[in-house]
Structure 1
Amino acid sequence: MKATYRLTANPAEANALSEMSVLPGIVPGVINDLESIDWAVLEHAYGPGKEVPGWLRGMVSPDPDVRNEAFSNFYGKALHQGSVYSSTVASLPFLFAKADDPATPDRGAVVALLLSIGREVIEAEEIYAVICGPDGEESTIYPDTANLMREHANAFVSYASDPDARVRRAAIEGLGLFLDDAERAVALLRDRLEEESGAAERGLVVRTMADLVLRLPAAAGPVRSWFDALVDNGALDPDTRLAALVHRTRCAPESIDDQTVPKVILLLHEVTPSPQAEEDRPSTGPCTCEAEPEPDSDVPGHIAAAFDDLERHGRVHAPTTSLLVAFHEALGARFDDRAALLIEQLRSPDPGTRYDAIDMARCVITSWRGDHTHLVQLIGDCLQPHDSYISAAAAEALGKLGALAEPAREVLAAYIAEHRPDAWASPHRVQRRAHQQAVVALAGLGDERALPSLLIALDNDTDAWRAVNAVGHLPQAAAELTPRLMRRLADVDHSREWPDVSPTALASVLAALGDPAAVPALTDAFQAAIRHKQWRTAEPLLKALASFGPRAASALDIVRPLTDTGSTDVRTAAAAAVWELERRPGRVVPLLERLLDHHRNFDAIDLAGRIGPPAAPVLPRLRQILNEQAEENARNESNDAAVLNTGNAWTLVHTASALWDIAGDSEADTVVSALLNAWKDNDSTARDVLACLNRMGQAAHPALPRIHTALAQPHRGDDRWSGAVAFDLEIERLCRSLVTRLQDLPEAAPTGEK
């Protein structure tokens, strides 16, 4: 059997794969045949695959460090972020040979790698039926490799009954992924549950059975009955019963009723460790964790912290966590049920359960609208002086909630008050992180009680980058903060690509504080960035200067020359700054006419809107941009375009908003229509659309039905990016304001959505 690949632009790679004898007839000595393949014409994520044979040999080394490095390299390069490459596929016969050989060390790790490859191609085969590389070559590598793995499902059947528990554990999931005979797969998994005694393996069998149903609906009837029998079997261990109940809801969410969550909570109580005796509980004294090693001076603090966060957020602290995450996903919009479960989790006597519940609660609060006061308070209750590890997680979660953390304000302040402000620079790693996160969260609420610790940070340079990102919420303390930030800005070495404290962050914070004393420092920094041709930092520094308006007029002589030099972005930022600093349309509108030659120059379009009616000379160009975009959208719809260009929606929003701000009522119908079309095509434009509708007043009345719909939706949208909560709260505020103003107006003729 040979895999078939269609690689029209790389015949050498295609030949190397097609000539490879794939899988049947593998013998233990196949590892010696590695040199029979021309690995140099195959690829991994970072180039030619000539290193792959060394990794495959390293996986069978007697030295565990060599084996670990080999697996790490393969995952990082030949299976980079789940992508499969020609060298990955060429490795399969050798990996299967090693998995089959009882003498192979770490056979479980080999089987787990095979499973990872199979899982990725199974999940991706429908999306990437044909993929194109950078040179235009086409490949059917995902569906071909998925079929290949299915053809060798029997290997996983064998591994799943292997005497080595690590091999069995790695193979069980393959029974649900690669077997296309639903009846056989169900029978094998039922047998595995009876044979396995470990809680982890039994839970994996139950989860795999649910995955099988989701992949092969023909298995649904017998599997759901099996789940019900497991749940009702009081003689069965509670871990397996809990897994069965959770995974039944994944397969049949319509089966969720008023008793489902109470049953889960009861089973959760049974599997949760008993509370510690009073004498065994940790003392409430100061943290006794080891001092943190000095960070690498060549790595900026915010970069090192980001990697620490990634590692920490990948940890699981309780055996029930993966089950509860799956259950919350199955519950979806049943907010009351999810809140009831989270209350139990956050009150659990098991610290691992409480720790993992913090982020689950944060996800619910940031993803779903509603009254989250109780959940926020329970997260706040996790701020305990005797447990800095959980406290740090709670404080970080509260910081991500923004204004929604208000019910925990006093708890945050009390936690910070337990220590001196110099706890910001504590030598104890976990205690330092907990204190810093609590300070940042309190500052995010605009509370000046966070200030003493932030001043310590700015004065002694310990994690100053974190303090800089927080102080912009405390404009009432500008007199104390601005001089410190100015000194930091003056000390920035603009010849360095990545300074520890970004001049961009400093500029943003100084603009937020609004103290005009910062203007000279911003001007000097801007000049330094220009001298070093650091355009990436020059532009935000210029925008910060512009935020001070005429109070920064002293910088005009430096800014004006840039309106006719440098990149389009710099010229646009310079034109905007000239407008803000002196407010003379006659100087700026002629610049705008040139800048608008590129219809996606949103900053220039926005500048035209801020200038307002005096920018009337650019109205024909704005109308042209709007018409061109409408025509492009119509062509896309007529061609049934599969991929939406979200930039099109933003072009509509920016252009229509400027059109309203310049021309007003005469363009009302055109503007409302464009805004509603943009909102329909790209929901992330909602805040900008609503901001313009809010400025339009009564002219926005045709948009009222869409505003009602937006206000009624329970979901906030994507919570993965910073500021998502504030974004949604602003949407809600604008919707309520518009409803109040428009709902009693007489019905207007509807503005059509094209």
Structure 2
Amino acid sequence: MTVDWSRLGHAYGPAVDTPGHLAALESGDAETRQAALDHLDMAVLHQGFPETATAPAVRAVTALLAEERAHPDTVESLLEFLGDAAVSVTDLSDDRHFEGILPDLADAVAQAYPVVLPLLTASPPDRALFRAENLVAIARMRPLADRREELTALILEWSERGAGPQAEWLHCLGQLDVDLRDRLIDPDPAVRLQAALFHEDDPRGRELILAALAEPPPPGVHQFALVAAALRVAADFDEIATAACQVASRDSWAGFDDGWGALVRFAFPKPYATSRPLTEPQRALVRALVTNDELWDPTNGSCGLVFKQAGLPRRRNACRRLVG
């Protein structure tokens, strides 16, 4: 099927340059191939947002991989492109702005799935986890919900080989809706916690999540996932206040959205006001924030917004005076 790329668009305008980049993936020199990969990432699927050229580009990439025409040094990046496209389908499914684009994109990525699935079987051990993560992103799309069995079996096989952290393989399995409750008593704390994140409704999972919040998460578990889970299972801020103070005192400024900032928003569902005194847990949290040098750059608007929304002073000394 011939594609009229002039009628399609990417993030920077008409997609008339996309065919040349696609051709470079099989025959260009190293610099040209890298430019082609950059084009897919920055124009065809810019920051995860698809355009009208995205689905045809996915089909073209699938053909290159199916016919083994893609240069070997592009295969990993092309699989990642397909995985990112799948994430867009999943994450934007309720966004009406993309409702005219996503059905065709979902169909294109689903067609790629049987083509790229063998890449995990044939993977070098040091690339297996990367390939699995992208295949999981594809398999999580709704059209593939009943076609995950083979991928699940492959991931179980790779995890048993010890090719990478067990907690990260477990994360792949959890995303495929595999029941992981038997791993809640695993001797590896990272595995236990990863299982808990997928079974937070289990009392054992809830207990593991709340107990883990105070310390830096073990390798294979991301703090943002742990914080989000703790906020979902905690009865109120008081229940996690002590652990939240530990996070607030050590987190980097970049946690303004899903780390210390999320905890501040949970602690202050209503902005602080002089007519409503701070509770002791709120006071302890502000004290912890004051101890963290990372959070007080006056030019950092992201951090400033967290304080503003909580009704707290933006200046460190003012917060220090507030809590005594």
- Tell me the TM-score normalised to structure 1 length: 0.34
2:195 aligned with 1:244: yes
Question: Does the aligned pair in 2 maintain the 1:42–1:86 contact within 8 Å?
Answer: yes
Mapped pair 1:230 → 2:183: yes
**Structure 1 residues not aligned, in runs of 5+:** 1-19, 21-35, 132-138, 214-222, 273-317, 348-352, 384-389, 407-439, 448-754
Contact 1:231/1:245 (8 A) holds in 2: yes
Distance 1:45 1:180 in 2: 30
- Residue of structure 1 in register with 2:175 after alignment: 211
- Matches for 1:622-661 after TM superposition, within 5 Å: none
Query: Which residue of structure 2 lines up, in the alignment, with residue 727 of structure 1?
Result: none
Letter paired with 2:185: D
1:112 and 1:170 in contact (8 A); partners too:
yes
Spell out, residue by residue over 1:354-392, the C-alpha distance to the aligned partner (whole angstroms, 9 max, x if none). Answer: 326853222221344364211221121122xxxxxx365
Q: Measured at CA, do residues 328 and 190 of structure 1 come closer, stay the same or move farther in structure 2, by a change above 3 Å? A: same
1:63 aligned to which of 30, 33, 39: 30
Matched-pair contact (CA < 8 Å) for 1:230–1:240? yes
**CA deviation string 1:246-295 (max 9, x = no partner):** 2222xxx36467633354359x56837xxxxxxxxxxxxxxxxxxxxxxx
User: Is the 1:230–1:244 Cα contact (8 Å) retained in structure 2?
Assistant: yes
* Residues 1:341 and 2:243 aligned together: yes
TM-aligned CA deviation for residue 195 of structure 1: 3.7
Q: Does 1:170 align with 2:134?
A: yes
Amino acid at match of 2:8: L
**Residues 374 and 59 of structure 1: is their aligned pair in 2 closer, same or farther, counting only changes over 3 Å?**
farther
Q: Which amino acid in structure 2 is aligned with residue 233 of structure 1?
A: D
Q: Distance in 1 between matches of 2:25 and 2:114?
A: 23
Of 256, 260, 263, the match for 1:361? 260
Q: Partner residue of 1:146?
A: 106
Deviation by residue 1:603-655 (Cα, 9 ceiling, x = unmatched): xxxxxxxxxxxxxxxxxxxxxxxxxxxxxxxxxxxxxxxxxxxxxxxxxxxxx
CA distance 1:130–1:77, shift in 2 (3 Å)? closer
Q: Distance in 1 between matches of 2:248 and 2:298?
A: 11
Give the 3 Å change call, closer, same or farther, for CA 51–119 of structure 1 in structure 2. Answer: same
Question: Which residue is equivalent to 1:115?
Answer: 83
What aligned pairs does 1:402-417 form with structure 2 within 5 A after superposition?
Answer: 402=308, 404-405=311-312
Aligned-pair distance for 1:40? Answer: 1.3
Cα RMSD after superposing both structures: 3.9
8 Å CA contact 2:86, 2:137 repeated in 1? no
1:153 and 1:175 in contact (8 A); partners too: yes
Residue number in structure 2 paired with 1:599: none
Which AA in structure 1 matches 2:287? Q
2: CA distance between counterparts of 1:62 and 1:160?
Answer: 27
CA distance in 1, matches of 2:83, 2:49: 14
Question: Unpaired segments of 5 or more residues in structure 2?
Answer: 269-278
- The equivalent residue for 2:275 is none
1:380 aligned partner, one-letter code: V
Contact 2:196–2:205 under 8 Å retained in 1: no
Q: What letter matches 1:342 in structure 2? A: A
Q: Which whole-Å CA distance do the structure 1 matches of 2:175 and 2:206 have between them?
A: 25
Paired AA for residue 247 in structure 2: Q
- Secondary structure at the counterpart of residue 106 of structure 1: helix
Letter of the 2:186 counterpart? N
Match of 1:534 in 2: none
Q: Paired residue for 1:43? A: 9
2:237–2:266 Cα contact (<8 Å) kept: no
Match of 2:45 among 66, 75, 79: 79
Structure 2 Cα separation of the partners of residues 92 and 148 of structure 1: 6
- The structure-2 alpha-carbon separation of the partners of 1:444 and 1:153, relative to structure 1 and needing over 3 Å to count, comes to same
Q: CA deviation at 1:88?
A: 1.4
Structure 1 segment 454-603 matched on structure 2, within 5 A:
none
Q: Does 1:181 align with 2:146?
A: yes
Aligned partners of 1:173 and 1:204 also within 8 Å = no
Residues 122/172 of structure 1: CA separation in 2 closer, same or farther (3 Å cut):
closer
Contact 1:176 1:209 in 2 (8 A): no
How has the CA–CA distance of structure 1 residues 118 and 392 changed in structure 2, closer, same or farther, with 3 Å as cutoff?
same
Whether the 8 Å contact between 1:157 and 1:175 is mirrored in structure 2 is no
8 Å contact kept, 1:342–1:357 = no
Q: Answer 1 or 2: which has greater helix percent.
A: 1
Cα distance, 1:210 vs. partner? 3.2
The answer to whether 1:271 aligns with 2:218 is yes
Q: Write the distance in 1 (CA, Å) between the matches of 2:122 and 2:4.
A: 34
| 1:475-524 deviation line (CA, Å, top 9, x unaligned) | xxxxxxxxxxxxxxxxxxxxxxxxxxxxxxxxxxxxxxxxxxxxxxxxxx
**CA offset at residue 67 of structure 1?**
4.1
Separation in structure 2 between the aligned mates of residue 269 and residue 399 of structure 1, nearest angstrom: 25
| Matched residue type, 2:175 | D
| Distance apart, 1:50 and its partner CA | 0.2
The 8 Å contact of residues 248 and 289 in structure 2, kept in 1 or not, is answered as: yes
**Cα separation, partners in 2 of 1:162 and 1:355, compared to 1, 3 Å:** farther
Structure 1 CA distance for aligned equivalents of residues 305 and 96 of structure 2: 38
Q: Aligned to 2:307, which of 387, 401, 408?
A: 401
Aligned residues: 296
Q: CA deviation at 1:54?
A: 2.7
> 1:90, CA displacement in angstroms?
1.4
Instruction: Summarize the Cα distance change of 1:270–1:400 in structure 2 as closer, same or farther, 3 Å threshold.
Output: closer
- Partner residue, 2:120: 160
1:261 counterpart residue number: 209
Change (3 A) 1:398 1:116: closer
- CA distance in structure 2 between the partners assigned to 1:169 and 1:321 by the alignment: 19
The 2-side partners of 1:51 and 1:189 are apart by 38
Counterpart amino acid of residue 164 in structure 2? G
Higher radius of gyration, 1 or 2:
1
Distance of 2:169 and 2:140 partners within structure 1: 9
Change (3 A) 1:238 1:258: closer
- Measure the CA separation in 1 of the matches of 2:46 and 2:12: 9
Identity across the alignment (%) = 17
